[in-house]
Structure formats: C-alpha cells, structure tokens
Amino acid sequence: MPHDGHGHDDHSELSPIALRVKALESLLIEKGYVDPAALDVLIDTYETKIGPRNGAKVVAKAWTDPAYAKWLKEDATAAIESLGFTGRQGEHMVALFNTPETHNMVVCTLCSCYPWPMLGLPPVWYKSPPYRSRAVIDPRGVLAEFGVALSEKTKISVWDSTAEIRYLVIPMRPANTENLGEEELAGLVNRDSMIGTRLAGKAA
Amino acid sequence: MNPLDLKDPVFNEPWEAQAFAMVVKLHERGCFSWSEWAEFLGAEIKTSEVPYYEHWLAALEKIVEAKSIMSHNERLNRVEAWDRAAHATPHGRPIELSRS
C-alpha cells in the first residue's frame, strides 16, 4: 500500500498513526535492528500459517492418546513441542484439562498474553477491558454470554496468563465421538474452547 | 465483547501488523525480555482506552526510548520528515523520505 488516506490536493497524506509507525520502522531499519524482509515474513506467518488449528491438533491427540494426555499434564511445553508447535509466547505452556467438576478459563488481566503458537493472535474480545476484568469477577456471567451454561456443580477456575506462563485449555471430548479419528476430532475443537469460553463440539 | 468474531482479520490495518512485527523482532534480538514488554504494554492499557494496537504502538515508542534504541527527538523529527515527504509526494506515488 503506497499510502493511507487521501490528500485533498494533489499530494499524498499519511494518517498520524501511520506516520508514527513509519518513523519507528525507518529508524529501526537504519540502525540495523530490524530487516524489512524479515518483518514481512513474520507478518505473513501470523496472518496465514499460525492459528487455532495447531491447538486443535494437540487437543485431539490428548483425547485419543492417554499416554500423550499424561505427558501433556506433566510437561505441556515438551508435549506440545513434540508436535512441532514451538516459538514465541509458547515457551512455557501449561495444559488445563476440563472435567465435569472443573471448567478452566484463561484471561490476561495485565495485557493480552496468549499462546500464539497454538492459537494464533488473540481475538478482539480477549484483549478487551470488559473480558479482562469480568472474566475474573463474574466468569459464569461471561460464559453465559458466550452461550455456555455449566451445571451449578461445576467449579470454574480462572487462570491469569503472564509473560512467562501461557495456558491451553483442553476441553472435554464431546459425547458420542468414540468412532471419530484424530483428524475429525480436531475439527470439533474451536478456538474459544481452548481459551475456555466455549465447549468443544461445534465447528464455530 | 463479541463472541462471534471468529472471522476477524488478524490485523485490521497494515500499520498494526508493522507495529506487531517490530516488537517481536526487537524481542528476538534480545533488546528486551517479554516480561519487560508486558509491563510497558500493560501500563499503556491501564492508562487509556484506545484500540489495542494503539496501546501496542505507544508502548513500543516508550520501550525503544527506555532501551536507548532511539531518542524521543530523533523519533519526533522522523515523524515530521515522513509528514513532509507525504505532502511533497504527488498523489498515488510511493512516499519516500528523500522527498522531504
């Protein structure tokens, strides 16, 4: 994109925010801190290659392979790495297994820490002030807004991500899926179910 | 909070992607730890209510100064230079700093 916005005359104009970004970028390139081609590759990776399908594969494997599930519980970072999902913001992973007794839900009250290699970049609502504050104060109410009604007997545990620890929720395996293979099961795992704001079982 | 934003684009505008990528690359180079970054970003988020990547950009501007990667004036002069360059560029042509 050569420029943002439109000048009223015959010259160009950049929005104030685009000017700030261009200033930073050009200085960082000149000083040798960043390489413009590497920036483009990184952006493309996050736009097209990293996303919740990665996390879904981890969940489906945990559902079908008890040994893998055990490993995931004990050392999620290594178990996830074994499937090839490594990298930034996934260095120290903890897997939270949902059960009929306990439902896990993840938030980052400070900013927006999130397991990028497994889920991609966080959705808008995850970064929003209402979710960040209300997930802690009223998790059941937040879940209701997402269409999740849990039994009163189910305890809700809310986990606050930090810059060091990222959580991946392992949702419960939907009923009547005994005949499904790993790949089909992965199709039942939606992004929000791995944050804990939805259940697995529906494509969206 | 809209639970149904599953089809949200990763970035809404190109500048968001650029700001995101600069932070990841600077962290990769060891310019700051991710905890330090989370503190800068968290501080921005606490003080104002603007869209997320505007927080991100403001935090980036502060952390590059704090880490002596560039000075405040250096950055502001460069913003002005880009503005002049844009104004000196005929509509539809690529904007280059040399035009300022």
The answer to pTM > 0.90 is no
- The answer as to whether A199 is a domain residue is no
Structural domain boundaries, residue A59: 50-194
Q: Based on the fold, state whether residues A64 and A87 are members of the same structural domain.
A: yes
- CA of B40: which chain A residue's CA is closest? A111
Residue A42 lies inside a defined structural domain of this protein: yes
Give yes or no: A151 in active site: no
Which positions in chain B touch A198 (Cβ < 8 Å)?
3
In a domain, A201, yes or no: no
In tens, the pLDDT along A120-171 reads: 888 888 988 889 889 999 999 999 999 999 999 999 999 998 878 899 999 9
Amino acid type, B98? S
Residue A155, domain member (yes or no)? yes
CA distance A146 to A201: 14
Nearest by CB: B10 against A47, A89, A164: A47
Write down the catalytic residue from A26, A112, A128, A133: A112
**Domain at A149, CATH number:** 3.90.330.10
Judgement on whether residues A89 and A152 belong to the same structural domain of the protein: yes
Tell me the DSSP string of A130-155. HHHHHHHH-HHHHHHHTT----TTSE
A37/A87 same-domain check: no
Check CB contact under 8 Å for A163 and B35. Answer: yes
In the annotation, is A128 catalytic? no
Q: What is the pLDDT of residues A16-69, one digit of tens each?
A: 999 999 999 999 999 999 999 999 999 988 888 788 989 999 999 999 999 999
Please calculate the CA angle B14-B19-B20 and round it to the nearest 5 degrees: 95
Write the DSSP symbol of residue A128: S
Collect all residues of chain A within an 8 Å Cβ-Cβ radius of residue B86: 3, 7, 11-14, 19
Q: Is A26 marked active-site?
A: no
Domain that holds residue B84: 71-100
Report DSSP state, residue A122. P
Size of interface A-B (CB pairs under 8 A): 174
